[in-house]
Amino acid sequence: MKFRSFILLLIIPIFYFPSSQKINNNIDVLIKLSDDFSYREPLKSYMYSKRACLLADKSGTSKQKADAYYYMARNMIFMGKYKESYAFIKKGRNEEAVRNNSFLMALFTELTSIYYSRLYMIPQEMKENKAALKLVDPNKNAESKLFVSRIYMWIADCYTENQKYDSAHFYINKSIQLAEEIPEKQYLSFNRMFRRKAYSYFYKAQIYNREHKEKQALPFIEKSYIQAIKENHTYIYPILEAYGDYYFLSKQYKNAISYYKNAIENKKKYLYSSSDINLKISQCYNKIGDISNEKKYLKISSEQRRFDEKVTRQDIVRIAEGLLNEEIEKTNAARNKNILIYTSTLLLSLLLLAYIIHKLRKKKNKIIESKNDLLEKTKYDLTVKEKTITTLQEKVNDSVSELILMVKNNSPEFWNRFQMIFPDFTGKMLKINPKFRTSELVLSAYLYLGFTTKEISQYTFKSVKTIENNRYNFRKKINISSEEDLSLWIKEYIKNAEIK
């Protein structure tokens, strides 16, 4: 069983791949044929592109599908099948080969601009042309240069339709310059669908005709005609009509009528209406005083215009309205998406802000709670300290009372007890003068406790004179004047002095 499967795997490619390769080759051949008949026999070009699409949809590569869709859409635009052509433009733009290749995307962008131009949607046409310019660098190669030349031509046409002739001249000059920079042999090697040099000259002439500068227009009309014949174009009615416009502006009305009629005959081959040209013929007959033919062609023009408005123009309006509605829907969808993103972002921001505020409040409350706890603890500590101080003060007061009593009784234990209650006293006093005698330190203790000279004399059984002399000598040792209160000075010193 495994052996049979192996044999089948070997045999299948022999039959399948050549067949697949043949189909792919046929697609390329059909696309080439469609291009060969461009601007010559549009119906044949359309039929070949249609067959190419059918084969490409079946087994073509993404690039072959894109090429087939491009030619199909371009032929349908030429034939006035605008609704159907747009479907192929969208299919082409969605192909992977187009999405991954900026030049292919530029071609479909240009095609979209041509589509809008046929629907008289000038702003949309201009938008697509500007988008196409951003995708291609004209200095990259000759093919890119030719592409940008075409885009400049379409932009010039937009400005012409809006009667902005200075801008139109600027862009058509750039278009002609780029096209003429490409060697003729190389130019003619490109696909027919992309060769538009003849029409760059035509659009330059058209701008001059619109400005009533027919003498400047004529050389470009002639260039356009010569180039079209060289490239074997059969679709040349715009150039013939431009000749007619030149002769009309030059007041050579019979020559104008001749060219206008030739233009009508050329348009008939492609089943195009000629209401505008018939109106021009009517105006020519008016100028030469041929009232009969003036009325005849005015009637033909009116009948064709009514038909155009009833069929073609209604279709164009309907398609244009559909496109505008589609664009509005896309805009609304994009706006709704932006609103949703904005609302979601705002909501998330508010939630984040609420979370941050909640965390900050929580942190603040924690800090406040911590501070309150600290405050309570501090209050408690202060209360304890106050109680301790009170207790100590009471003890000190009791001790001081004890010392006072000992002084009054002239107790020999006074000095030892004093030093126990005030252990820093002796050290602080000796800091003033290390040579203080014990008697002098005892005197300073009496003074520290607030005893007067008379009281010290009374309790120590010494004369007042002796105590005064002792005080005097003590003042000298600590170097203070007689005006200062000695008792108060000792108290302040003991309070503020430090022992190192």
- In CATH terms, the superfamily for domain 409-496 is Response regulator (3.40.50.2300)
- Confirm if 78 and 39 have CB atoms less than 8 A apart: no
Q: Render pLDDT for 342-364 as a digit per residue (tens, 0 to 9).
A: 777 777 777 888 788 877 777 77
Question: Does residue 195 have a pLDDT over 60?
Answer: yes
**Whole-prediction pTM:** 0.62
Distance CA 22, CA 301 (A): 51
**How much is the pLDDT for 348?**
79
Listed range (146-150, 222-226, 495-499) with the worst mean pLDDT: 495-499
Question: Does residue 388 have a pLDDT over 80?
Answer: no
Listed range (209-223, 379-393, 416-430) with the worst mean pLDDT: 379-393
Question: Does residue 104 have a pLDDT over 80?
Answer: yes
More confident of the two residues 399 and 278: 278
- Confirm if 110 and 117 have CB atoms less than 8 A apart: no
pLDDT band at 335 (very low <50, low <70, confident <90, very high): low
Any idea what DSSP says for residue 422? S
Q: Would you list the domain boundaries of the chain?
A: 409-496
Q: Which has the closest alpha carbon to 116: 165, 158, 72?
A: 158
Structure tokens at 397: 């007061």
Distance CA 203, CA 173 (A): 10
Q: CA-CA distances (angstroms) from residue 87 to 74, 106, 225, 406?
A: 12, 17, 34, 124
**How much is the pLDDT for 361?**
78
Distance CA 178, CA 148 (A): 8
Distance CA 224, CA 202 (A): 5
Q: Render pLDDT for 8-63 as a digit per residue (tens, 0 to 9).
A: 444 444 444 445 566 778 999 999 999 888 877 888 889 999 999 999 999 899 99
**How much is the pLDDT for 170?**
97
